[in-house]
Amino acid sequence: MLSVRGVYDGKQVIFSEEIKFDAPQNVIVTFLGDSLNDTQTSAFDFLNDPAEDIYSDNDLKVKTTDEK
Q: Encode pLDDT of 19-36 as tens digits.
A: 999 999 999 988 887 655
pLDDT at 30: 86
pLDDT at 25: 92
* Cβ–Cβ under 8 Å, residues 46 and 52: yes
pTM summary value: 0.42
Beta-carbon contacts of residue 18 (< 8 Å; ≥ 6 apart): none
* Nearest one of 6, 5, 4 to 14, comparing CA atoms: 6
pLDDT at 66: 67
CA distance 51 to 55: 10
Provide the 8-state DSSP code for 36: H
Tens of pLDDT along the chain (68 residues) come to: 888 889 888 899 999 999 999 999 999 988 887 655 555 677 888 888 888 888 888 888 877 776 55
